[in-house]
């Protein structure tokens, strides 16, 4: 009996270790005091009215999440203080027509959880629809670009 218990315990330990590693490699919550001042200044210059900002560290970048004018925002900022990407929550019905048609055809039985307008540092706009645990990305006109695991 002892070898069986040892085998089960070993598998359980490996599973817990794997779960822990996945959690560590993804974004980590970060207290505001640990965010470099240049990063916080970049956010404040673009969104001076942002309050109750929640910070996460994603590799060498910082992500600020906050609510402004009843919309959720997420801003990705590099360590030199440059804004890399801004994600603004939008109503699902405000997705481009072609994007909504694509989703209706290819994800007919699934509900769209949320939608966002993403603007990168070059001003390029894309749209994102979260559906079935995936982010479906579209260009400005609503053409399908890619599917990403959320």
CATH number of the domain within which 48 lies: 3.10.450.360
Range of 133's domain? Answer: 2-149
Whether the per-residue pLDDT at 36 is higher than 70: the answer is yes
Question: Any idea which residue has 């965010």 for tokens?
Answer: 35
The burial of 105, by beta-carbon neighbours within 10 Å (0-12 exposed, 13-18 middle, 19 or more buried), is given as: exposed
Note the pLDDT of residue 18: 41
Digit-coded pLDDT (tens) for 75-106 = 999 989 999 999 999 999 999 999 999 999 99
Instruction: Give the count of domains, the chain.
Output: 1
Q: Which range among 23-27, 36-40, 57-61, 85-89 shows the weakest confidence by mean pLDDT?
A: 23-27
Note the pLDDT of residue 31: 87
């Amino acid at each position: 009996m002892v070898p069986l218990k040892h085998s089960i315990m070993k598998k359980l330990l490996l599973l817990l270790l794997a779960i822990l590693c996945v959690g560590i490699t993804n974004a980590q919550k970060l207290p505001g005091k640990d965010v470099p001042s240049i990063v916080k200044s970049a956010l404040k210059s673009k969104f001076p009215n942002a309050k109750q900002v929640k910070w996460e560290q994603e590799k060498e970048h910082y992500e600020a999440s906050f609510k402004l004018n009843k919309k959720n925002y997420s801003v990705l900022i590099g360590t030199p203080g440059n804004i890399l990407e801004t994600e603004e929550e939008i109503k699902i019905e405000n997705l481009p027509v072609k994007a909504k048609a694509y989703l209706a055809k290819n994800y007919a039985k699934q509900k769209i959880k949320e939608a966002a307008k993403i603007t990168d540092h070059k001003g390029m706009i894309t749209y994102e629809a979260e559906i079935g645990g995936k982010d479906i990305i579209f260009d400005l006109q609503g053409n399908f670009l890619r599917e990403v695991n959320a």
